[in-house]
Chains A and B, each alone.
Chain A
């Protein structure tokens, strides 16, 4: 109660002091503003950068904490994984194989599924594939006799999904819509392209025939949307059950099975164990099934820590200049208020409380400055989001990071404390008899 009374007294008198000296308070705030603003901007910048990097990393690797495993695609592993995870929300199996959309019996426009802005062999089976009425196969070596001629076909990676992968990889919708896993499977497999694939389909007119290894026929695909998945080579996503309509259960059992990736929520331990048991039962050695946890944030933090500290160091220097300003104003103010402080001591204010009053004033000044700096930073971020949305799309949905606000408040309080400490000590040392001698 006593402490509370002192605190309240310091606060009341501090506010009275600030109100009585508005111009000095304003000057203190001006000197401190740039320092606090620097800290807020550095922190906000670091947070923004971290979020942007994290978003990119999560897009490519997966969300922080996700459990993932790469499994051999041979044998029945794809079938078992699909059966286990189909319809689940806490896990998804992604079987990826090369596919071609377009004319049969021709070499694709982008052999090997290369990006369209990077011509030449690329990606899985850099020689590329070709497909005819008998199915798809790797391109023969250059010295072979049956080299297909280039035609209107686009090679891409085709990922079949047992569920919504966006729970684990936050794909950004660009256009159209995402796969609907709740509806009945379609005989015409619905495809969602990534940006690299969309580029190819935008540049080239190709027949709507989907060919992939193991397919019993060439279905007509439906391209329903485009997403940004952070992958630079052409990729398409489809429902596993829609592709399964065109793939007999025995398909993919050869040496060249699809790449199989499984992603699970951190809390899906039971599901993970069930899948491992089933896979082991199909003959996959348990030692080859290794789940790992994605630690995207940790990786980024390591990268960004050094940069952040360097910038914070620079911001601290600016803040110190602000502290010098508030100190200067504080000392001048105490010099002017000698009689007031002596009088306050005469009416029973202790030295400690007197120091607390001066500190309360500088701390309140620091807080006001922090509030101003945070407001300016938030407005600046909002303006940057509007101005630079084209160059930096992540700025559009960017919310002012609360940690930057906290850093600003801490910077303001620390500056207030440092700037007010010496004036507070001086105020506490003013001899009380000053009022008697005046």
Chain B
């Protein structure tokens, strides 16, 4: 079966500064249809940059990007826009609803983007279906100002789902929501994976990450797997002493982490050591059984593209 998404040795360096800064240093990632993946990482670790590359907001400096087996590493702006419309749905931390439009119009804006034309009746039907999918069809005529934060984010999710994308990209979608509302939004997005839609969730919230089928952490420009079950997995592998590892409720310090509730969290993570030399990449096993197949592989050497047989499935 062709993977939904494959990243091989993706690199990205920010050049606008005196000293170029490598954000992604050979990221490998494979996501299967219907699979949900959480990506963790410290602030500034490159999570959003990775998501913007996956969402074709930007181009990688190196590596290969395959979508449904097709190489889309170098796309024209026009083709990228068409793919963003057809293949991806985006949910952001801030809801980005246009205040002058109703909830339904905000959702429909993803259908009125010049990528094919739907008659008004069909637009309305799909919009209402998307709103119904996230449970707020009754709020279709409300403007954002009259909606709660959770309702606004669900409108944003409906907007992301209205074109029935193959991959949903969510960048800290619960960051501005309380826990209960955040859970609701996560559930709505997870429900989309039941219909075969892939989900990549960038989050700082471990509970939300744990609801994904696979959890990865972006450290030093590389994606590494995290054993998703034990709490100790939530400490960064190479966090500097005293560094703040995650925004949210967990503060990291040398030798341990303390949550905002005062609970102690071990900082050691049961992860597979990074690949070194020319040896095979070390990868984390992902949920087995009947679930979707997914893998993450650290490249050998200096960010070389991992061969398919190097990826542990």
Contact = CB atoms under 8 A, between A and B. Distances in A.
Interface of A: 1-2, 4-6, 8-10, 12-13, 16, 19-21, 339-340, 343-353, 356, 432-433, 435-438
Give the 7 A-B CB pairs with smallest separation, nearest first. Answer: A348-B85, A5-B117, A20-B100, A350-B81, A353-B114, A6-B114, A349-B113
Question: In this complex, which of A12, A435, A437 has the most chain B Cβ atoms within 10 angstroms of its Cβ?
Answer: A435
A242 to B, nearest CB: 72
Nearest to B85: A348
A21 B101 CA distance: 12
A436 B48 contact: yes
Interface in B47-102: 48, 51-52, 55, 57-58, 77-78, 81-82, 84-86, 90, 92, 94, 96, 98, 100-101
Given A344-B109, A347-B159, A339 B96 contact: yes
A347 B84 contact: yes
Interface in B89-132: 90, 92, 94, 96, 98, 100-101, 105, 109-110, 112-117
B96 A12 contact: no
A317 B85 CA distance: 44
A347 B57 contact: no
Contact of A352 (B78, B92, B112): B78
The B interface, classified by DSSP as helix, strand, loop or mixed, is loop
B171 interface: yes
Contact of B81 (A16, A19, A348): A348
Contact of A4 (B92, B94, B117): B117
Contacts, number: 91
27 contacts: A5-B115, A8-B112, A9-B113, A10-B114, A16-B100, A16-B105, A21-B100, A340-B98, A345-B81, A346-B55, A346-B90, A347-B159, A348-B81, A348-B82, A348-B85, A349-B85, A349-B114, A350-B77, A351-B77, A353-B114, A432-B58, A435-B96, A436-B48, A436-B52, A436-B57, A438-B92, A438-B94
B113 A353 contact: yes
A1 B57 contact: no
Contacts of A344: 109, 113
Interface string B25-55: 0000000000000000000000010011001
A280 B117 CA distance: 74
A194 B101 CA distance: 69
A92 to B, nearest CB: 62
Given A436-B52, A436-B171, A346 B84 contact: yes
A348 B117 contact: no
Interface residues of B, number: 32
Contacts of A350: 77-78, 81-82, 114
A12 B118 CA distance: 13
B230 to A, nearest CB: 31
A20 B109 CA distance: 15
Contact of A433 (B58, B77, B98): B58
Contacts of A8: 112, 117
Contact of A13 (B48, B84, B86, B112): B112
A197 B105 CA distance: 75
B100 A348 contact: no
A436 to B, nearest CB: 5
Contact of A348 (B51, B52, B86, B96): B86
B39 to A, nearest CB: 13
Contacts of A13: 109, 112
A9 B114 contact: yes
Contacts of A436: 48, 51-52, 57, 92, 171
A326 B117 CA distance: 30
B81 A9 contact: no
A13 B111 CA distance: 11
Nearest to B115: A348
Contacts of B116: 2, 5
Nearest to B57: A432
Contacts of B109: 13, 344, 347
A356 B112 CA distance: 13
A276 B84 CA distance: 80
Given A16-B105, A436-B51, A437-B48, A347 B100 contact: no
A10 B109 CA distance: 11
A18 to B, nearest CB: 10
A349 B112 CA distance: 8
B49 to A, nearest CB: 8
A104 B105 CA distance: 93
